[in-house]
Amino acid sequence: MALSISAASVPDDGADFPDAFEVFHEGIARTLRAAGAATGPAADAPAVVACVAEADGMTVSIAVDPATDLITTMRYGGGASEAERAVMEQLAAFAVGASARELVEHGLTYVLDRLRDPSAPRPVGGILTPRNAGPCFQRPRRLMRALRAACIDAKGPFEGDNAFDRPYSAQWLAMDAPAKHEKLNRLVAKWRERAGLGETSMAVFEIDRYDRVVVIFGDDVDVWDKPPHLLALERWLRQETGERIEVFVEVAKDSNRIRRL
Amino acid sequence: MTGMTDHTDLILDGTKIAWHQDRIRAWERGERVAPITIDMSLTRACNYACHFCYAMLQENERKVIDRKAIFDFLDDCAEIGVKGISFVSDGESTISPIFIDAVKHGHALGLSMAVGTNGFVLNRRKLEEVLPALTYLRVNISAGERARYAEIMGVKEHWFDRVCQNIRDMAEIKREQGLDVTIGMQMVLMPQYADQIMPLARLGKELRPDYLVIKHCSDDEDGSLGVDYGGYKDLYQTLHDAEALSDESYSVQVKWSKIGAEGTRSYQRCYGAPFMLQMSGSGLVAPCGMLFNERYKKFHIGNICEERFRDIFAGDRYWEVMNYLASPAFNAQKMCGSLCLQHKVNEFLDGYQKDQFDLPTLPDNPPMHLNFI
């Protein structure tokens, strides 16, 4: 009796990045073309608190602004493969403005998202995590584990919950409601075109007080086409705006007559 | 934080996910793991109007789960490796005409079956038929006095008497037939029900179920039910007093870990849903109850009234949604209601995923109700 279905594929030894699944190759190449500045020591960083960690011949260091407790610089070194370099470059980009705890706890899941081609199937059939994302994620994973230990050695255990969150940008928050509507309507119109939907198939209905976007569908959209459209639209709006847009449809009220709220 | 409690016979405040390490290992390898537990309802309808009811927030497009749909579903669950099905979720399953047959069919397939109910439409004949097929039956009863029961549960006062009699009967049938089933009572506690904690604990001592569990009330991310999480602190002494009424065959347990969390979450990713899936009484397959409402349509995966569950489970859509919840696109601290069913499982898996601990070595004797994690 089958417990599970495995759809994992293995990296191709003949590929450009033999320690990475193919779904990451384009992202790795793109990252390497754009980056390269995050190698080396953190000593030149304009902050005073630094944590340094080493794992399997790779090193990582972070500089933290004592006023905000947020990372100002992350540097790495050691014998990284090209794919590992891309992972570390993306981690370095993520680190700036994040807390050390956020970096060690969530950095690699962010990198997975940044490097993966969203149009290609995931390299595993189930849940993609740094643990199963291929060899190029394993040394960085151990490095983050070592960095966590180094941070705790330096500053004591992390306290409370990690509630780090990157808020909406100041630019977004400064926009008034009509401007947000106008921008999102324009983007939704573009997306409809990409998705092959008609003009009346989908529109922005409301942007609520938490900036959550409520859309409505036209009757021509099949009920089970709506969920994938919504996730795809949300992903696209995030990509186009750089903001963490959330997309919903209207709330359904309870149909049970005897219950009340 | 492992979310595990000290090993006890009956874990009501913690998670049993650590006893399923084969599935955790498969999950971390990226395999498509079947849920260990599925929490669902046979209908969205209910004959009660409980003041605290989260189901009021879970409306979605209604379909009727008929006999064929539920039998197919249970067959599929057994085939793909689901271990336990609890009829709890967002409706009163006992008022569905297929309730007893569904429990018996699941049991015959080797699935562990359980029920959460208000206990009103059950009677001795039905109980004698269904109890042998159940791992546990838990009665939702959030007051220990008739008048307050009627207020809090939104029903007539005399319904309280009938439910009490049914609980008495359950305990008696269990004893007479030597059944393994666990009989429980559950109080969903809002701070304004504090006056009912002791009366209910005393009532339980008289009715003799195996336990009374007192739990927090969940709310959505906008606080629609108005749960005052800060108000629980003032009740701690009363809750301790209630626990002190426990005896050798009646246990009063408070879900301290959730009540103490004051509605907050320590984690941002949701890894628990693939292990502990929730389904609506409309047949909707969504990762969890907090995402049942039409509002969260982007997370809706399929419906067992329209499609076989084995096909839904094997489909890319199912895994697309589960991956979304496990990705940085999702933040449970910001985008979810409070203290969901998967909360303790999420805490465990989040800590494990962050390399904060290794899978623990387990004691030889597993806890009860292992398939309800």
CA distance B256 to B229: 13
Q: What is the pLDDT of residues B113-140, one digit of tens each?
A: 999 999 999 999 999 999 999 999 999 9
Interface test mutation site (partner B, options A256, A257, A260, A261, max chain B beta carbons within 10 A)? A256
Pick the residue from chain A with its C-alpha nearest to B336: A246
Tell me, what DSSP letter sits at residue B31? -
- The residues that bridge with A203 in the sheet, in sequence order, are A216
| Cβ pair B328:A122 closer than 8 A | no
> Would you give the end-to-end CA distance of chain B in angstroms?
16
What pTM does this model have?
0.90
pLDDT for B364 beyond 60: yes
Q: A54: pLDDT confidence band, cut at 50, 70 and 90?
A: confident
**How many Å lie between the alpha carbon of A66 and the closest alpha carbon of chain B?**
24
Q: Provide the pLDDT confidence category of residue A8 given band limits of 50, 70 and 90.
A: very low
Residues 6+ apart with CB under 8 A from A100: A51, A62, A64, A69, A71, A147, A151
Residue in B33, B50, B328 closest to A126 by CB: B33
Partner B, chain A 52-111, Cβ-Cβ below 8 Å: 104-106, 109-110
In terms of CA atoms, which chain B residue is nearest residue A248?
Answer: B295
Mean pLDDT of A219-240: 94
Cα torsion A94, A100, A102, A103 to 10°: value is 40
- SS3 of B76, please? helix
Which member of B28, B314, B334 has the closest CB to residue A131?
A: B28
Asked if B325 and B287 touch (Cβ cutoff 8 Å), the reply is yes
CA dihedral A213, A216, A221, A223 (to 10 degrees): 80
For residues B306-315, give the mean pLDDT. Answer: 98
Residue B174, pLDDT above cutoff 60: yes
Q: How far is residue A110's CA from residue B356's CA, in Å, rounded to a whole number?
A: 18
d(CA B295, CA A250): 5
Binding-face residues of A in 229-248 toward B, CB within 8 A: 230-231, 234-235, 238, 246-248
- Tell me the pLDDT tens digit for each residue of B229-270: 888 889 999 999 999 999 999 999 998 877 776 667 889 999
Q: Does the pLDDT at position B4 exceed 60?
A: no
| Nearest Cα to Cα of residue A116 among A145, A82, A143, A90 | A90
Nearest to B103 by CA among B134, B64, B125: B134
Q: Residue B59 has what pLDDT?
A: 87
Contact check, Cβ <8 Å, B59/A123: no
d(CA B359, CA A114): 29
Query: What distance in Å separates the CA atoms of residue B151 and residue B49, rounded to the nearest whole number?
Result: 9
Does residue A48 register a pLDDT over 50?
Answer: no
Nearest to B30 among A113, A124, A230 (CB): A124
Mean pLDDT, range A2-10, rounded to an integer: 37
pLDDT tens for each residue of A237-257: 999 999 999 999 988 888 776
Confidence (pLDDT) at A45: 46
Cβ proximity of A219 and B114 under 8 Å: no
How far apart, in whole angstroms, are the C-alpha atoms of residue B358 and residue B356?
A: 7
Smallest CA-to-CA distance from A49 within A67, A32, A31 is with A67
Cβ B302–A224 below 8 Å, yes or no? Answer: yes
Task: Judge: B154–A2 Cβ closer than 8 Å, yes or no.
Answer: no
CB–CB contact A127 B321 (8 Å): no
Inter-chain residue contact A223 with B61, CB threshold 8 Å: yes
B14 phi/psi in degrees, rounded to 5: 165, -165
Do residues A39 and A75 make contact, with C-beta atoms less than 8 angstroms apart?
yes
pLDDT value, residue A43: 47
Check whether A108 has a pLDDT greater than 90.
yes
Distance CA B143, CA B160 (A): 9
Q: If pLDDT is split at 50, 70 and 90, which confidence band does A42 have?
A: low
Closest CA to B142 of B249, B216, B89: B216
Beta carbons of A38 and A88 less than 8 angstroms apart: yes
Strand bridging mode A4-5 / B32-33: antiparallel
Q: Please, which pLDDT band fits residue B105 given cuts at 50, 70 and 90?
A: very high
Residues 6+ apart with CB under 8 A from B261: B216, B339, B343
| Range ranked top by mean pLDDT from A4-8, B1-5, B198-202, B223-227 | B198-202
Q: Nearest by CB to A249, from B44, B294, B353: name it.
A: B294
Contacts of B57 by beta carbon, 8 Å cutoff, 6+ apart:
A254, A261, B220, B224, B225, B293, B337
pLDDT for the residue A155: 85
Asked if A109's CB is within 8 angstroms of B328's CB, the reply is yes
